[in-house]
Structure 1
Amino acid sequence: MGYTDDEILKMLPPDGKTTLDKLAELAKKAVDEGLVEYGILHRPSKGAGFYATLLEFGTKCYNPETGNLMLDEPALFKYYQWHADMVKKGVIPLEPPAWMIIHATFVEGKTFCTLASHVGTPGEWKEKYGLTDEALENDLGFLPFPPSVKDGKPISVHEFAPYVITSQCKHPDIAALLIMLATSPHACAIHSAHTLRPPYRGSALENPLIKDNEYIQRTATSA
C-alpha cells in the first residue's frame, strides 16, 4: 500500500499499542485497492482463540471471587456490533471460509490479517501450506490482539488454554495433578518444540529443547 517498514511499525507496533479499528482501517484499504481478497478473518468454529478477541473489548468472562463464569452483556454487545460493522464495510466476510482457506489465503498473501491464528501457527503453515522461513521472516508480522479503544491494553500474541475442574468432578485432586503434569515446564517445552508455539510457562524458555530457538524466544516475550 506504499508504506515503508518504519511507517508500518508506527501504525502496527509489535507491542500491540494500537487499536482494532486502526487494524480494520488498513485492512479495508488493502481490500479496496485490490491487494487482498480478505481484510480480516476470524475463527470459523469455537475455540480458545475467541477468548483473546473477547478481551479486546474488555469482556469479563470469569468472576475470580466466586469462581463462576459470567455473561458481560454490555461488552459482548460491543464485540458483536464491531463485527457487524466490519461485515457492512467489507472488511470481514459475512461467514468465514473453511480453516483450509483461512490458512492458505494468509500464507499466500490474500488475507491482510487473521484473528484465527497466533504466533504458534507458522509450524502448521510450514508443514501444510508451504510457508518458507524467508516468508515468515520478511512477509509476515505478529502483534498482540489490539484493544478496541485507544490507550487500552493489548492482549497477547497467543491464545489461552484454560483448565477447569468442575464441581461435579469425582476426583478433583487427581484432576489437579494431571493439569500440573500437563503444564510442567518440560511438557510446555516439548509442545513448543514441535509446534513453534511459545510455552505457556516462562520457565520453559530455559529448556534445552527451545532455548536456542530464535523464533520462540522472540515471540514468547509478548505472549
Structure 2
Amino acid sequence: MRNRIIIAAFLLFSGSTVYRILTGDASWAVTTRGGDPSQVTLKIWAGNAAPIDHWRTDSAVDAARTLNRQLEEEGSGVRVTIDAINDPASWGNYKKKFLMAADSHLAPDIICTGHEDIASWASAGLIVPLADTVAEMRAKDPAFADVREDLWESTMFRGKIWGVPQDSEARVLFYSKPLLAKMGWTPARMKTLERGIQDGSFTTDDMIALAEKAVASGVVPRGRGYWHRPTRGSDHIQKYYAFGGRIDDPETGRLVADQQSLTRWFTFQRRIVDAGITPENYLGTEWGIWHNTVSHGKALFWEGGIWNWSSWGSKYAADLGGEAYLHKSVGYAMPPAGSKGGTPATLVHPLVYLVPKAKASGQMQQKLALRLLALMTTPEINTRHALDSSHLAILKSQLDYAPYKENTFLYGISKLGGKSFFQPNHVRFSQWFDIVMGAMEEAQSGRRSPSQAAADAIALMRIDVGEDNLVFR
C-alpha cells in the first residue's frame, strides 16, 4: 500500500541541499528528492506486511498531520511529502531490497524491521545511532520516555540506542477449552493450569503427559496433542530457553554454546513425536493447514505468536464466530518451563524503526525523521496497530488507555507475568541461529539423535560463529 500526504514542515538542514560525500574512491550526491529545496519527501518502509499491519506505515501519515500543525505554528513554509510503503514481500526479500537501495543511496528515511538487523546494519554503517544511553533517548521527547523500559534493550548495540520500538508481541501456549472439557476439566481447573505454569509446578513434562492422555482417550487423534510452529523460526528458541539455554552472555557480549541445554531441547523435540502428540514429519506443514487445525480446536495444545489471534478471528475461524468463538474456546498461558520450579519465559521480537544514514538514503533528513518518529509513538497510534494486528502495548501509558484495556485478549497477555527475552543484537547471531535450527530439525526428524545433533551444532559453531564470539557452557 502506498500513501502520500503533503504537509507543511520545517527544513531541518541548512545551506545547499546538495552535499558531496566521499566514500572510498567513489563520490555521490546527497540531494533533496525532486531537486526543489522547498519540497522534502520522507520515505518510510515496512516489510512482511499483511493488510492488518498497515499502521506500521500509515502511522507516519497520521503523525505527519500533527507535525504539520506544529510546524505551521513555528512559521515554517516548507512542504514535505510522506511516502509510505507497506511492502508484502517476505522478510528476506524485503531486507534484500533495503540493502540494494542502500547500496544505490536510495534507502528510505525510516525503515521498520526486526531489531536483530541492528547489529549488521550498524556495523555496515547504514543506520544512525539515535542516542548514547536510554536516559538520553528518553530525554529527547516525552513520547520516548513513555516506551516500556525493557524494549529499549532490544534497540541497543555497542552501548548505543539505534532504533525506536514499533511493536511488541509474545509467543504463548494456547489450549482448546472444549477438548480439555471432554477430559473432565472445569473452567476453574483450567485456571489452575495457567497458575501452575506461572509457579513452575506445571512443566513441559506435564503438558506432554496430558496430551498423551488426550490421544489415548480418543479426545484427539494421534499427532494432535501438541503443535508448535511448523517451520523454522525464533519461536523454537523458547524451548531452548525453557531447558536452561541462553543465547548470549551479558558479561562478555558473546553468544553461548551450551551443549547440555541444546541436548535437552532436542530431546524434547523428538520426544513429542515419539509420544504421538506431534506428527512424524511435522516440520514443513503448510501454514494454512496449521492455522485451520489450531483455530478450529483440532489440537489440544499449540504454541504460537499472539499476532495470529487477529487472523484466526477474521479469516480462519470466521465461520465459527470469529473472535467471539476464540474467547469462548481458546485459552492461553505462558509456555511452561522445562523443569519443576522453573520460570516460564516467552521470546519477544520487537519491530523497530531505524533511521538510515545519508550514505544509504542519499538524504540529510535524519533529524526530521526522528521528530516524526516521536509523533508516531503515542498511545492512540500504537493502540490502533495493537488492536488491528494483535500486538502488545509498547508504551507504559497504553496499559491505562481505555481502548487497550478493553481488549481482554491483549490486556490479559500483558498481565501474564513470567520472563521475556530477546534475540541478541550480535553480528554472528544469524549463523548461530541457522546452526541450531538445522540441528533441531535433524533431531526432531530422527535423522540424528538429540545428543549427536547438539554435538554437531557446537562443532559448527566453532567454525561458522567463531570461538572468539562464543562462551562455552
TM-score range relative to shorter protein: 0.7 to 0.9
Inter-partner Cα distance in structure 1 for 2:196 and 2:310:
20
**Contact 2:197–2:336 (CA<8 Å) still a contact in 1?**
no
Alignment RMSD: 3.0
1:180-221: CA deviation from partner (whole Å, max 9, x where unpaired): 86x946564343122122224544334565243232222211
1:5-52: CA deviation from partner (whole Å, max 9, x where unpaired): 223332443753321111111111112222224111111222232232
Is residue 378 of structure 2 the alignment partner of residue 219 of structure 1?
A: no
Task: Structure 1: state its 5+ residue gaps.
Answer: none
Inter-partner Cα distance in structure 1 for 2:299 and 2:265:
21
Inter-partner Cα distance in structure 2 for 1:54 and 1:84:
13
What residue in structure 1 maps to residue 204 of structure 2? Answer: 20
TM-score (norm 2): 0.40
Code of the aligned partner of 2:348: F
What residue in structure 2 maps to residue 103 of structure 1? Answer: 291
Give the alignment partner of residue 197 of structure 1, picking from 391, 406, 410: 391
Q: Quote the sequence identity (%).
A: 25
Is residue 338 of structure 2 the alignment partner of residue 145 of structure 1?
A: no
Inter-partner Cα distance in structure 2 for 1:205 and 1:46:
32
The alpha-carbon deviation at position 133 of structure 1 amounts to: 2.9
What residue in structure 1 maps to residue 44 of structure 2? Answer: none
1:61-118: CA deviation from partner (whole Å, max 9, x where unpaired): 0111222222221111100011212211111222232211111111111111112x13
What residue in structure 2 maps to residue 134 of structure 1? Answer: 324
Give the alignment partner of residue 50 of structure 1, picking from 233, 236, 255: 236
Give the alignment partner of residue 2 of structure 1, picking from 147, 167, 184: 184
Inter-partner Cα distance in structure 2 for 1:145 and 1:114:
10
- Cα 1:22–1:200 change in 2 (3 A) is farther
- Cα 1:209–1:71 change in 2 (3 A) is farther
Structure having the larger proportion of residues in strand: 2
Inter-partner Cα distance in structure 1 for 2:292 and 2:262:
30
The count of residues paired between Structure 1 and Structure 2 equals 211
Is residue 231 of structure 2 the alignment partner of residue 59 of structure 1?
A: no
Inter-partner Cα distance in structure 2 for 1:90 and 1:6:
28
1:101-142: CA deviation from partner (whole Å, max 9, x where unpaired): 111111111111112x13332111012202523322221110
TM-score (norm 1): 0.80
What residue in structure 1 maps to residue 306 of structure 2? Answer: 119
Inter-partner Cα distance in structure 1 for 2:350 and 2:316:
28
Q: Larger C-alpha radius of gyration, 1 or 2?
A: 2
The alignment partner of 2:260 has SS state of helix
Inter-partner Cα distance in structure 2 for 1:161 and 1:201:
16
